[in-house]
């Protein structure tokens, strides 16, 4: 049973560019959350999607946007990239009933902005 | 962004020793979770705590949900080399936003 898969695994972008990261949730999961993890820090909540709508949002600017598709997969888009956006971006999937033993993280996408 | 205070920041111990780390918050949480993260991987859930005062074990790991609901600790007994990694606490309030701690980096020497 495949877990959470994220693509690409690594990405290098230039300041000002736009980037799209992708996530496929674990089979049977219906909720996808995105986190940003800066080097040496714990993950920070960006937003969560359920039924193709954003349910919750953390303290991130509007440059960060997302989407969830009917098959529950999700995308994270970041516009006008800044150097400070360099981080590991983690996707986590779960059931909406908050079964946290089922809250599964992917291996992440390492984004470097130069 | 908000992060929980986790201590110690790092630990260097010998194989077979016991380990203790804790996490504190200025806010009350309804759920405390402990994760381990290996290099190049996402966090993996170790233990979940759902009730104040709850003490839960998972093999050599034991965690407790503080009575005040503002803290939690994790103990690892008889450490082994594969325990190496970064351990994160995470709290959950009335929303689905997990708030993570700053992490404890554990190094185990044979």
pLDDT digits (tens, 9 = 90+) for B25-82: 999 999 999 999 998 899 999 999 999 999 999 999 999 999 999 999 999 999 999 9
A92 reaches B (C-beta below 8 A) = yes
pLDDT of residue A102 exceeding 70, the answer is no
In angstroms, rounded to a whole number, what is the distance separating the alpha carbons of residues A38 and B30? 26
Q: Does A95 touch chain B (CB under 8 A)?
A: no
Split at pLDDT 50, 70, 90, the class of B93 is confident
Contact A107, A91 (CB under 8 A): no
CB pairs under 8 A between A and B: 61
Residue B92 confidence (pLDDT) above 90 = no
Q: Which of A33, A43, A101 sits opposite B100 (nearest CB)?
A: A43
Residue B1 pLDDT: 65
Is B3 an 8 Å CB contact of chain A?
A: yes
Q: Which burial class, exposed, middle or buried, applies to B20 when counting CB atoms under 10 A from its CB (0-12, 13-18, 19+)? A: middle
Question: Whose CA is closest to B2, among B90, B65, B95?
Answer: B90
Task: Kindly give the pairing relationship between strand A109-113 and strand B104-109.
Answer: unpaired
Q: What is the mean pLDDT of residues A7-17?
A: 98
Whether B45 contacts A4, CB under 8 Å: no
Main-chain phi, psi angles of B45, to 5 degrees: -70, 130
Among residues A104, A34, A26, the alpha carbon closest in space to that of A72 is found at: A26
| Residue B98 forms contact with A (CB below 8 Å) | yes
Map tokens 């049973």 to a residue. Answer: A1
List of chain B residues whose C-beta atoms are within 8 Å of the C-beta of residue A41: 3, 102-103
> Strand A10-13 to strand A109-113: parallel, antiparallel, or no bridges (unpaired)?
parallel
Count of Cβ atoms closer than 10 Å to residue A84 Cβ: 8
Give the nearest chain B residue to A49 (CA atoms): B96
B contacts of A45 (beta carbons < 8 Å): 1, 97-99
């Amino acid at each position: 049973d495949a877990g959470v898969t994220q693509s690409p695994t690594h990405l290098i972008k230039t300041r000002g560019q736009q980037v799209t990261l992708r996530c496929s949730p674990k089979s049977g999961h219906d909720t996808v959350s995105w986190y940003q993890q800066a080097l040496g820090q714990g993950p920070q909540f960006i937003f969560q999607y359920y039924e193709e709508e954003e349910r919750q949002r953390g303290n991130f600017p509007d440059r960060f946007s997302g989407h969830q598709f009917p098959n529950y997969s999700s995308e994270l888009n970041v516009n006008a990239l800044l150097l400070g956006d360099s981080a590991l971006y983690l996707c986590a999937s779960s059931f909406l009933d908050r079964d946290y033993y089922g809250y599964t993280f992917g291996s992440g996408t390492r984004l470097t902005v130069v | 962004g908000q992060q929980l205070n986790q201590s110690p920041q790092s630990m260097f111990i010998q194989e077979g020793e016991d380990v203790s780390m804790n996490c504190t918050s200025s806010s009350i949480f309804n759920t405390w979770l402990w994760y381990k993260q290996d290099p190049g991987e996402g966090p993996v859930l170790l233990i979940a705590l759902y009730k104040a005062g709850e003490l839960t074990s998972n093999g050599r790991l034991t965690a407790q949900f503080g009575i005040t609901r503002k803290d939690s600790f994790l103990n690892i007994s008889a450490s082994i080399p594969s325990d190496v990694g970064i351990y994160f606490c995470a709290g959950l309030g009335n929303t689905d936003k997990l708030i993570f701690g700053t992490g404890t980096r554990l190094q185990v020497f044979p």
